[in-house]
Amino acid sequence: MTTPSSHHNTILVGAGPIGLEIAVNLKDKRVDFLHIEAGQIGQTITWYPRNVRFFSSPERIAIAGMPLHTANQEKASREQYLAYLRSIVEHFDLRINTHERVVAATRDPSTNIFTIQTQKHTQTYTYTCDNLILAIGDMHKPLKLNIPGEDLPNVSHYFDEPHNYFRKKLTIIGGRNSAVEAAIRCQRVGAHVTLAYRRENFDRDIIKYWLYPEIRSLIKSKDITFIPNTTPIRISPTHTTLAPVTWSDQTTSATTHNTFTINTDPEQLIDITHDFLLLLTGYQQDTSLFKQLGVNLEGINRQPHFDPKTMMTNVPNLYVAGTATAGTQTKFLVFIETSHIHTTRIIQSITGATNNPNLLNNLCHNISQPES
């Protein structure tokens, strides 16, 4: 157990897959480090729907040089991957302060020392360090629609378990993997599913290849009701009100992007009855630690500024790793599989030494693009 107010060479925040991969390598280099995690290890993955499968092949999401096999040669499920992460922690005997959240962080420019304040249950702790690594992920809270009724008890931004919706009227808002997968699974357990999406169709390039034909088929057979080109404008305990949207291209000197206008003409609105409503419209990063520490946040994604050679941000000795590097991803480009290389760069920058290649995903130098 770490004593409160202790000083460390490095503090590593976040024990998702990339935080764990960094921890294995810091330990290998005998760096004095403290590892802090707000929830349990793999916390982001704990809120994936039960039995959901990764789109990445197992070898691409394996970490710390430890192979990941699945019994049926399929993609790993949430449950398999969490078990794998627990094995990693046990095998390398990683010491992690779990269920302890970093709530504040500052850096004293005169001493170059970081001060970290954490909260564990009702206790607060303070630690100091020379190097700080934020591997805190990018999906901290739902992207809210900010419409009336969004906080009703039968409305959720998280899909966890299809069984809850057996013989219930379920409306799902969204059209990416999470919404499409929820629609298919809930229809299969006997829910009456309506799927509403603000686009005309799903983007075949981003939907998991095994889901796309199935959702098209279920819509064609009318087992799922699909209402494209609509967005919800208000929610009651029993209804979702959808308004039609019209898309147009908006061109600036640098880019062209689509925008939509919402038609709120009462004649055009569609009321859908529901027992439950799932708003699967994405998640956003909590940037408060970056802001407190003075990290520049850039572009539409509010992406933390960092040097890709070292992963150091514009704040000296403050590093960022994993999906935390991406800000809030409007188009998903940064994943576990593209982030293994961050470990190599951070270890090199902090220790001046090359990391042990046996303790890293051996594909790490070859993956710059996600698999699908």
- Give contact residues for ligand FAD (rule: CB under 6 A): 13-19, 36-39, 43-45, 48, 52, 54-56, 61, 101-102, 135-137, 178, 289, 322-324, 335-337, 339
Shortest approach of ligand FAD to residue 146 CB, angstroms? 22
Shortest approach of ligand FAD to residue 39 CB, angstroms? 4
Shortest approach of ligand FAD to residue 306 CB, angstroms? 14
With left for phi above 0 and alpha for psi between -120 and 50, is residue 5 left, alpha or beta?
left
**Nearer Cβ to ligand FAD (101/291):** 101
Shortest approach of ligand FAD to residue 68 CB, angstroms? 12
Residue 192 CA, chain-centre distance (Å), reads 28
**Nearer Cβ to ligand FAD (61/191):** 61
**Nearer Cβ to ligand FAD (43/310):** 43
**Nearer Cβ to ligand FAD (81/241):** 81
Shortest approach of ligand FAD to residue 162 CB, angstroms? 14
**Nearer Cβ to ligand FAD (15/311):** 15
CB neighbours of residue 212 within 10 Å: 17
Of 81, 100, 88, whose CA–CA distance to 21 is shortest?
88
Helices (H), 47-135: 58-61, 78-91
**Nearer Cβ to ligand FAD (206/227):** 206
Angle at CA 202, nearest 5°, toward 78 and 282? 50
Half-sphere exposure of 50 (CA within 13 A, CB side): 6
**Nearer Cβ to ligand FAD (61/312):** 61
Shortest approach of ligand FAD to residue 271 CB, angstroms? 30
Angle between the N-to-C axes of helices 177-188 and 212-220, in degrees from 0 to 180, rounded to the nearest 10: 60
**Nearer Cβ to ligand FAD (19/304):** 19
Distance CA 9, CA 112 (A): 12
Helices (H), 279-335: 288-293
Do 127 and 118 touch, CB atoms closer than 8 A? yes
Residue 238 CA, chain-centre distance (Å), reads 30
CB neighbours of residue 368 within 10 Å: 9
**Nearer Cβ to ligand FAD (98/164):** 98
Shortest approach of ligand FAD to residue 333 CB, angstroms? 11
**Nearer Cβ to ligand FAD (232/322):** 322
Shortest approach of ligand FAD to residue 246 CB, angstroms? 30
Do 179 and 197 touch, CB atoms closer than 8 A? yes
Shortest approach of ligand FAD to residue 360 CB, angstroms? 14
Shortest approach of ligand FAD to residue 75 CB, angstroms? 7
E strand spans, 167-321: 169-173, 192-196, 224-227, 230-235, 239-251, 256-262, 270-273, 276-279, 283-284, 297-298, 303-304, 318-320
Instruction: Using alpha carbons, list the distances in angstroms from residue 184 to 49, 187, 197, 216, 355.
Output: 13, 5, 15, 10, 43
Local structure of residue 114 (DSSP, 8 states): E
